[in-house]
Amino acid sequence: MRQVSNIYKALSDQSRVRILFMLKEKPLCVCEMVDILKLANSTVSKHLSILRNTNLIIDQKDGRWVNYRLATSTESEHINTILPQLDNWLTDDVTIKQDREAVKAVDRTIICASD
């Protein structure tokens, strides 16, 4: 029961739900999510930590970046149940649509060039 409770707690935050939908489009690094969400790096990192602890997302090191992606069904027993339900509820959500377009345009090499 604790795992299910933790998943629902993770989904109770709008930014974390937005992150899940962004990761449906493609894997992203923290700097890309910071750029889209317009939140502090530390805030986005905390949201990612919560989602990672529920096994909804996975992080993978790739050179200087850590990429975050949605867990697969073999990595998370709940991902195939949760995402379709979220899709049903948020099909016409303006913020989700804007995020989807922003994910298509975001470029880590430009955003992180000063790092």
pLDDT in the model for residue 72:
86
pTM: 0.91
Cα–Cα distance measured from residue 56 to residue 82, given in angstroms and rounded to the nearest whole number: 9
Cα–Cα distance measured from residue 89 to residue 66, given in angstroms and rounded to the nearest whole number: 30
pLDDT in the model for residue 12:
94
In order along its 115 residues, the chain shows pLDDT tens digits of 788 888 889 999 999 999 999 999 999 999 999 999 999 999 999 999 999 999 999 999 988 889 999 998 888 877 888 888 888 899 899 999 999 999 999 988 888 775 5
Cα–Cα distance measured from residue 100 to residue 103, given in angstroms and rounded to the nearest whole number: 5
Label the pairing between strands 65-70 and 57-62: antiparallel
Q: Which amino acid is at 84?
A: P
Report the CATH architecture of 2-111: Orthogonal Bundle (1.10)
